[in-house]
Amino acid sequence: MRGGMSLSFLLVLLCSSNGWTRTEGYHCKQREGTSLTILMDETPAYHSLSYSLEKVLNSVSARFPCVTRQYTTITLDRTETNETITNDKSDFLQCITRKSWDYAYYYKHMSICNQSLLYGLKRALEISPSESLILVYTFGCMADYNDTRLLSEVYTLLEEKKSQVYFLRYSWYCKMEASQKDVFNEIASLSYGGFIDMRMTDNYELWRSFELLLSKPLNSTLHLLNICLKVTEEYTKVFSVPTSLSYLLITRNQRVILKFTDPNGSTFAIDNTYYYNYYNYYVQSSNLIKTPAEGSWILNARGNSSLSLQILGFTGNYLDSDCHPNATCSEFGGYGECTCKKGFSGDGTTCNDIDECQDDYTNNCDYYSGGSCVNTIGSYTCNCSRGYKYISEFGCVDIDECADSSLNDCDPIAICRNHYYGSYTCTCPDGYYGDGRHCEVNECQQGTLCDSNEDCMKYIGSYSCVDPCSNHTVLDDSWRSTSNKANSSNYQYDWYHCDYDLSGWYRFKREYDQQIPEHCIPVDSCGADFPIWMNGSHPTVSDGIVNRTACSSWYVGCCTIPNNISVKKCPEGFYVYKLQSTPTCYSVYCTESNHSCSGLDCAPGEECGIVDGVHGCYCRDSSNTTDGMQLGNVEGKLKKCPREEKEEK
Ligand SMILES: *[C@@H]1O[C@H](CO)[C@@H](O)[C@H](O)[C@H]1NC(C)=O
Ligand SMILES: *[C@@H]1O[C@H](CO)[C@@H](O)[C@H](O)[C@H]1NC(C)=O
Ligand SMILES: *[C@@H]1O[C@H](CO)[C@@H](O)[C@H](O)[C@H]1NC(C)=O
Ligand SMILES: *[C@@H]1O[C@H](CO)[C@@H](O)[C@H](O)[C@H]1NC(C)=O
Ligand SMILES: *[C@@H]1O[C@H](CO)[C@@H](O)[C@H](O)[C@H]1NC(C)=O
Ligand SMILES: *[C@@H]1O[C@H](CO)[C@@H](O)[C@H](O)[C@H]1NC(C)=O
Ligand SMILES: *[C@@H]1O[C@H](CO)[C@@H](O)[C@H](O)[C@H]1NC(C)=O
C-alpha cells in the first residue's frame, strides 16, 4: 500500500568504495562510518540542502579521509520513487541537486498534500545500513500516515536499524492534522532524531549535530533519555551520564524551558519558547554539550505544553589526525580536524600551495601600483614599482617621500607634497625662486628694485630689470576679437579657446595694434565662454607699469573671476600686458582696436590703422557689412573720416 503511487524506478549507482584520491606513499586503513540517507519529497529546499550538506560532508571527509560510508538518496514525486546508493560523496551531492524545482508545478499541487512519505521512509530504512543518519526533507505532508500496516513496518525497522530520523520541514502550505503531527513526532522520538521546523534560524547547532552524528564511530551511540509527555507547569527528571562521554546531543522541541544541572551543580538553560510562542510553529532543535560530567544530571522543564526530548551520548575519545604538515589539526567531537593552512588548498590530508599570483583577486600586488606578484610556498610577495613599498595587509602602497628628507630631493626650504600613486612634488615657498629641488631668494618679490617703466625678471643666480616694450610676445589671434560671437553656425568645439598657458608680457597685434577692452563683454564672445576684459582705464606713457583687474564675464555678472594683470603704454603707442594663465577654461583675453594711435590724437569713434599704406586715424565703414560686424573678423573696412573728407574739399 503506497498511497496510489505507481511503481518505483530504481537506480543504483555502484561507486568505487576505494574512491579516495591519495598522495603518493599515503597509507591509511579504511574503516566504515555512519551512513547518510536523504529522503526528499517535493519540498523546494534542494538548493539550501545541498549547500549545507556539502559543507558538512567536506568537513567530515577532511577529518576522516579513511572512513567510507554509504550515501543513499530517495526522491518522491507523484509518479515515481528514485533511489540511488553510492560511496562517492560527489555522486551523492549530484544526486541531490539533480532534481530541478518546478515552481509552477509545486504551487499547483502543494495543496493536495499527496505525499507517500511514510512509504519513502520505509524504503529509506530498508536500504540504509544500521545506525544511519536519515534526513527527511519535506514540506510536511505524509498522506499515508493512516496506513497502520506501513506504520508498524516502519516502527519495526526503527527498532532493528537504530537509525536516527530527522524530519526537516521546509514548507507550511500543507495543513497538518494533529494525528499526522503525532506520527512525525513519534518516529522522531523513537529514533532519537527530530522533527525540525526549518524556519528557525538556529541551524548552526543542527548542522553541527549532523556533523557529529556522521563523525562518530559506529556503535558509539548511547541512548540516554527519551521523553515524550505533557508538561503542566513543572517536570523534573534525573538521568545518568556514564563516564568518558565526548558529547551529549540534546534534541528537543522548544515549547518548554529546559534547565540542566550537572553532577557538579553547574546549570544551563535552553529557552527558545519565545520563538515558539511568537510564530506558533512546531519547532525542534538540537544542542551539543561537550565532555559532559559523569553522574546524575537533573532535567527541569517548565511550561504548559507537550515535551519531546531525546538525549544521545557519544563514546569514543581518540584523536584521528592524518593531517598534512601544512594543515592544522583541531579537535571536534573527540576527533582531530585537518584544515589546510592559509595559502594552501586541499582536504587537510593533502595541502597544495595556492599560486596567489595566478588570480588578481587572491593577491593585492597590482591594485593601483603596477607591482608584480611573486608566488612563494604558502604565500606570495609583491615587487612594487618605484615610489611604492610592500605591506602584507595592503599590498603595494605609496611611500610618503615627504615624511623623511632622505626619501626626497626637495630643497630643504621647499614645500614637499606627497602624491598618492608613487610620486611627490617640490615647490619653492613664496618669496623664493626655483624648481623646488633648488630654491633661492626672489629679489623681484623684495620691494621695488626696478623703476616704474621696467619689470623685474628673476632668473637663476640673479635678476634683471626689463622694459616690456622691448621684450614681449606678440599675439595675433583674430578670434580674440570682441566681434567674434558664438552663434549656431560656429557653435562647435574648436571655436572655443583658452588662455591657460599664458605667462609673461604680451602685445596684441593684427593688421594694427589691439587692446583689451575696458568694458564688459557679453559671454560667448572672443572665442570663449568667459571673455576677459579689463576693469580700469589704460595708462599713459608716463604712468609706467600699472596694475589692473582683469574680469571674466559670466551670466551671473561681469566680473565673476577677477585676475590681476599689469599694463604699460609704450612710447610707440601700443600696449603691453603682463598676463597670467586664466583661472578657468574656456576663458580668453579679448581684444579690440587700439583707439589711441601712437603720436596721433584720434577723435572719439575713430580708430588708428593703415589705409593705402598711410598710418592714421580712420573711421569704420559699416555700410558694406550685414549685421555690423561679422564673425571671423571680416569687419567693416577703414576709410577716411568725414571730417578729413570735409577738410580735403
Ligand atoms: C494522490 O495522487 C495519486 C496519483 O497522482 C492520485 O491517484 C490520488 O487521487 C491522489 N490523492 C489525492 C487525495 O489527491
Ligand atoms: C485517515 O484516517 C481517518 C480516520 O481513520 C480518516 O478520516 C481520514 O480521511 C484518513 N486520512 C487519509 C489521508 O487517508
Ligand atoms: C557494530 O555492532 C554490530 C553489532 O551490534 C557489529 O556487527 C558491527 O561490527 C559493529 N561495528 C563496528 C564498526 O564496530
Ligand atoms: C609546507 O610549507 C612550507 C612553507 O611554509 C614548505 O616549505 C614545505 O615544503 C611545505 N610542506 C609540504 C610537505 O608541502
Ligand atoms: C627678454 O627677457 C629675457 C628674460 O630676461 C631675456 O632672456 C631675453 O634676452 C630678453 N630679450 C630681449 C630681446 O631683450
Ligand atoms: C602691482 O602688483 C605687484 C604685485 O602684484 C606689486 O608688487 C606692485 O607693486 C604693484 N604695482 C603697483 C604700481 O601698484
Ligand atoms: C570695477 O572696479 C571698480 C573699482 O574697483 C569697482 O567699483 C567696480 O565694481 C568694478 N566693476 C565690475 C563690473 O566689477
Q: Is the dihedral of CA 430, 431, 433, 437 positive or negative?
A: negative
CA of 535 to the centre of ligand 7 (A): 6
What's the confidence (pLDDT) of residue 644? 60
Task: State the first-to-last Cα distance of the chain, in angstroms, to the nearest integer.
Answer: 135
Nearest CA to ligand 4 atom 3: 377
- Give the Cα separation of 561 and 549 in Å (integer): 10
**What residues flank ligand 2, with Cβ below 6 Å?**
143, 146
What pLDDT is stored for residue 311 in this prediction?
92
> Which amino acid is located at 457 in the chain?
M
Output the residue whose Cα is nearest ligand 2's atom 11.
146
Query: What are the pLDDT digits (tens) for 316-330?
Result: 643 444 667 788 776
Cβ(116)–Cβ(21) under 8 Å?
A: no
How far apart are alpha carbons 259 and 427 in whole angstroms?
A: 75
Q: Note the ligand closest to the C-alpha atom of 450.
A: 6
Burial of 129 (0-12, 13-18, 19+ CB in 10 A): middle
| 28 in contact with ligand 3, CB cutoff 6 A | no
pLDDT at site 631: 34
Q: What does the alpha-carbon distance between residue 378 and residue 148 come to, in Å, rounded to a whole number? A: 61
Question: Cα separations (Å) of 246 from 217, 341, 429, 431?
Answer: 12, 26, 75, 81
**Nearest CA-CA partner of 420 in 402, 435, 439, 407:** 402
pLDDT value of residue 21: 37
Alpha-carbon Rg of the chain, whole angstroms? Answer: 46
Q: Is 466 in the pocket of ligand 5 (CB under 6 A)?
A: yes
CA 647 to CA 586: how far, in whole Å?
Answer: 47
Taking CA atoms only, the protein residue closest to ligand 5 atom 6 is: 471
Nearest ligand to the CA of 25 is: 4
The 3-state secondary structure of 456-501 reads EEEECCEEEEECCCCCCEEECCHHHECCCECCCCCCCHHHCCCCCC
Q: What residues line ligand 1, using a CB cutoff of 6 Å?
A: 4, 78, 112, 114
Q: Are the beta carbons of 306 and 284 closer than 8 angstroms?
A: no
Can you give the pLDDT at residue 49? 73
Q: Which of 26, 326, 355 is the pocket-test mutation for ligand 4 (most atoms within 8 Å of CB)?
A: 326
pLDDT for position 601: 60
Instruction: Determine how β-strand 473-475 pairs with β-strand 504-508.
Output: parallel
Residues 6+ apart with CB under 8 A from 331: 319, 337
Minimal CA–CA distance to 293: which of 352, 345, 368, 242? 242
| Strand partners for 445 | none
Mutate to test the pocket of ligand 6, among 465, 545, 548, 566 (most ligand atoms within 8 A of CB): 566
| Helix, coil or strand: residue 48 | helix
Whether 219 is in the pocket of ligand 3, judged by its Cβ within 6 Å, is yes
State whether the beta carbon of 23 lies less than 6 angstroms from ligand 6.
no
d(CA 450, CA 398): 46
The pLDDT, as a whole number, for residue 649 is 42
Which residue among 519, 535, 553, 560 has the greatest number of ligand 7 atoms within 8 angstroms of its CB, and so is best to mutate?
535
pLDDT at position 277 is: 47
Domains contained in the chain, CATH given: 34-216 (3.40.50.410), 473-603+624-635 (no CATH)
Closest listed ligand to the CA of 79: 1
Peptide bond into 586 cis (omega under 30): yes
Residues in the chain, pLDDT under 70: 1-30, 44-47, 63, 65, 78-79, 98-113, 171-174, 199-203, 254, 272-285, 316-323, 330-337, 366-370, 490-491, 595-615, 622-637, 643-649
Q: What's the CA-to-centroid distance between 504 and ligand 5, angstroms?
A: 11
Ligand 3: residue of 70, 218, 221, 223 to mutate (most ligand atoms within 8 A of CB) is: 218
Instruction: State the distance from the centre of ligand 6 to the C-alpha of 450, rounded, in angstroms.
Output: 12
* Strand, coil or helix: 263: coil
Protein residue whose Cα sits closest to atom 6 of ligand 6 = 547
pLDDT for the residue numbered 626: 43
Q: What is the pLDDT of residue 8?
A: 31
- Residue nearest atom 13 of ligand 4, based on CA coordinates: 325
User: What span, in angstroms and rounded, lies between the C-alpha atoms of 136 and 70?
Assistant: 16
